[in-house]
Amino acid sequence: MKRKLTFLLGLLLCYSLFSKSQTLTSAHFRISDREKGIRSVELNINNTIIIGLNSQGDISYIEEAEGALPDYTSDLEYTDDGGSKLIANQKIEYYDHFDDNKSGKVKWIGGIKIDYNDNFDIHDPKGKIKSIGNIQIKYNNAFDIHDKSGTMKSIGPIQIKYNNVFDIHDPADKVKSIGNVKITYFNAFDAQRLFGKIKSIKGNSKKIYVTK
């Protein structure tokens, strides 16, 4: 009985902490030799949930973080409504048909509200993920005249920069920096066959890291 009570208290504490605020434990960005911009992003939220974003700004997967909530969170449960499930004891819910622009997209992960750009965001790309709880995601828009519209500009405090018209010798629209991580490419001073390929990624840390 005592063990069961401890288990239930643990669940309640976890839900309370998870729903109040979100901490970006780490962010893993993937870039490419061939493609411009960001290929995908993997966000570790509160060291509990992994949220994967694709290059279009959509959630591609949600997983339990490795080692999160040990001993009682290994199960994955699907409910009979076909639109909800439990991951790390957090219920996943979706926008319904009343939300035209967001229908079918993830709406809640436990106590975390997920929002997307819609018709009220007149300067921003529609349908792209806008926020994960208190973590804001921003994109280059019509006001960013030197950058490609629709590319990811920031996730929370992590700023993302791209090669633009001022980087005359470098491949256009390639990711230049993510936070303190700097990316360089083979450019106009190198062999033509190498142009645009990644030359170096420097400044990776446990919190923010970039790979191919």
Q: What is the share, in percent, of the chain residues with pLDDT greater than 90? A: 59
Tracing tokens 């079918």 back to the chain, one arrives at 104
Q: What's the CA gap between 117 and 102, in Å, rounded?
A: 9
Between residues 1 and 50, the one the model is more confident about = 50
Nearest partner of 52 among 74, 79, 28, 72, judged by Cα = 28
Domain range enclosing 61? 2-211
Looking only at Cα atoms, what is the longest distance across the chain?
Answer: 71
What would the two tokens of residue 97 be? 């048909």
Q: Look at residue 202 in the predicted model and tell me its pLDDT.
A: 97
Q: Look at residue 8 in the predicted model and tell me its pLDDT.
A: 45
**Would you say residue 190 has pLDDT above 50?**
yes
**Would you say residue 81 has pLDDT above 50?**
yes
Mean residue pLDDT of the chain comes to: 85
pLDDT band at 122 (very low <50, low <70, confident <90, very high): confident
Mapped onto helix, strand or coil, the DSSP state of residue 11 is: helix
Q: Look at residue 84 in the predicted model and tell me its pLDDT.
A: 59
pLDDT band at 127 (very low <50, low <70, confident <90, very high): confident
pLDDT band at 68 (very low <50, low <70, confident <90, very high): low
**Would you say residue 186 has pLDDT above 90?**
yes
Q: Look at residue 90 in the predicted model and tell me its pLDDT.
A: 85
Domain total of the chain? 1
In contact, 195 and 186? CB cutoff 8 Å? yes
What would the two tokens of residue 179 be? 């936070």
